[in-house]
Structure 1
Amino acid sequence: MRTLPPAVETGFRTLESAGSFGVAEDDLPERVARVLRDNFAFACSLISATDTGPAVEIEPITGSASWPVVAGNPIARLSRFTAIRAENGKLLMESPLATHRAIVRDGELLSALTALTGAARCATLPSGPALAALASCGLIATADDDGGFTEDASLWSFHDLQSWWRSRPGLHDYPVGASSDRVMHRSGSRPDGFRPGEAITLPPVDLTRLRSADVTLTEAIEQRRSTREFGRPITAGELGELLYRAVGARDRGRAYPAAGGIDELTVYLAVGRCTGLPSGVYRYLPAEHALAPKEDRFDPAVLLAAAKGVAGAPQRPDVLVVLTSRTSELAGKYQGLGYSLTLRNTGVVYQNLYLVAAAMGLAACALGFGDNALIQRALSLRFPEEIPVGEFMLGTRQEMQTD
């Protein structure tokens, strides 16, 4: 029999209204599981044979947390969805598939977790009882009767599942959403590398004419296509009209709705073929309806060729629109939502670009991703203050295959 340290005796006394008691090492995981199953709202410390304090503390992170007992001595491994990270001087274990988090406080347990990067039986490793407790709460995966792991059938990647889990409340206890005690953060000046003083003013757009002559919304939706082949060079007038209509400045803000009206997105252009506009890399200035050229004259053909490869297109687009985000401006107001909200805003801009292109009879195609390192170099971005979040090809239409 082993006597539990005082901190844990206090925890069990609170849970069971009992005095201090000893628990055999082999019985510890099942006893703790049984207690927490009935009292999961209490953050309880679990012990694995340390004289200085708990080896691991396990606490519920949802109001519906449960604690199924892992019987016997199953084959186990560290779940591929479990993150081990440092925060506020603590070493945390978390997973979107678990209803508890763990705070690891013992080096022997950490070594045992390293051993569980491959399949093993918990009882054969140091800190076996603590490992079994981590398996009970889902941070360690246990094998099926055939020796396989259910999580291996999931098509989720670790990072995608983590991003979804953290950006929505209900399955964790982190704050999510707008908070009155948070102040919206405004980033400093844009990074060097562009020349606003030498901006090229784009032709003005006649909204009065468009209101009477433009196609209907229904027609634009029905005509929308993702087009990967292009005709004649786009003109500066066409490009300017599309930018103004889709992402330009208005008295109320921008032409598209955005979370909190914060306007964290910036529009850049890699221009190849464009009648009336020199080839180059530009930043769009919505308030001036102008394009600021890049100082070092980065070859836009590099970005256009990369876009061609991502899209599987037979030719380069005339123009590549690159959207970047200063997500800290969103995160300053919306806890846990900065990246999630900027992706939503990017989707809104994509739809605006698609519908305006359809109304104008232009060719358009959104890309699923871009090369972060290439875009960082091309636009002189400072990571992570400003990050690429979207790429969109533009040109004119010809007889083509579309989807």
Structure 2
Amino acid sequence: MCPGEPFLYRTARVRATFPKDEKECSDRPYANGGACYELEFYIIVNRCENIPEGLYHYCPLDHQLCKISDKNSYLETLLKNAETATVPPCNPQILIILATRFPRVSWGYESMAYALTLKHVGVLYQTMYLVATAMNLAPCAIGGGNSDLFATATGCDYYAETSVGEFMLGSRA
């Protein structure tokens, strides 16, 4: 079974949208300062029933995974980096990479935007741990990451959207 899709629905989907200060804001299952929700979900599927291996972007408004690429050497390296960041080393079934879209948060918070983003990552991790535990999954936040490699693998502009957190998810043994 692949836990990814129900997990994403419970942690990251857009429940509603509304205008605020000439911007569109949203309501999601986790708390976020100013309702700007600058965090984006990129999912590397390594081993998951019914979902082919590769890199996906999660579209929270439509609750849909959009494929970016098949498994390649960049993704293999990101998975290997995640594996070696855990003790004991664990090859992830699913690696969720959280990326921030800086303009979404900087328009309202300017100089404290990066610090606020990291706080949002912590809040989201808490939600992800609670949901994974309730679903009897194996969650693990990772204290590493490679922003340059992420930008290369996704084709994202490093200065507009870059990785700020990683989270492994899998089935319990």
Following superposition, the deviation at residue 260 of structure 1 comes to 0.6
Following superposition, the deviation at residue 296 of structure 1 comes to 6.4
By relative contact order (CA 8 Å, sep 6+), the higher-ranking structure is 2
Following superposition, the deviation at residue 367 of structure 1 comes to 0.7
- 2:10 aligned with 1:245: yes
How many Å separate the matches in 2 of 1:389 and 1:259? Answer: 17
Q: Which residues of structure 2 form unaligned runs of 5+?
A: 17-25
Deviations 1:259-278, CA, capped at 9 Å, x for gaps:
11011110000100000100
Amino acid corresponding to residue 45 of structure 2 in structure 1: V
The RMSD of aligned alpha carbons is 1.5
CA contact (8 A) 1:266 1:325 kept: yes
Q: Secondary structure at the match of 1:314?
A: coil
Deviations 1:149-185, CA, capped at 9 Å, x for gaps:
xxxxxxxxxxxxxxxxxxxxxxxxxxxxxxxxxxxxx
Amino acid corresponding to residue 76 of structure 2 in structure 1: A
- Count the aligned residue pairs: 163
- 2:159 aligned with 1:384: yes
Deviations 1:286-305, CA, capped at 9 Å, x for gaps:
11111110146545332211
2:146 to 353, 371, 377: 371
More strand by share: 2
CA contact (8 A) 1:365 1:394 kept: yes
What is the TM-score normalised by the length of structure 1? 0.39
What is the TM-score normalised by the length of structure 2? 0.88
Identity of aligned residues (%): 37
How many Å separate the matches in 2 of 1:287 and 1:350? Answer: 20
Deviations 1:341-384, CA, capped at 9 Å, x for gaps:
11111111111110000001100100112012211111112021
CA contact (8 A) 1:328 1:338 kept: no
CA contact (8 A) 2:151 2:157 kept: yes
What is the aligned partner in structure 2 of residue 283 from structure 1?
57
Moved over 2 A (4+): 295-302, 312-315
Q: Secondary structure at the match of 2:6?
A: helix
Q: 1:157-236 alignment to 2 at 5 Å?
A: 235-236=1-2
What is the aligned partner in structure 2 of residue 358 from structure 1?
133
Q: Which residues of structure 1 form unaligned runs of 5+?
A: 1-234, 399-403
Change in Cα spacing, 1:318 to 1:295, as seen in structure 2 (3 Å) is closer
What is the aligned partner in structure 1 of residue 19 from structure 2?
none
Higher-Rg member (1/2): 1
What is the aligned partner in structure 2 of residue 264 from structure 1?
38
CA contact (8 A) 2:147 2:158 kept: no
What is the aligned partner in structure 2 of residue 314 from structure 1?
89
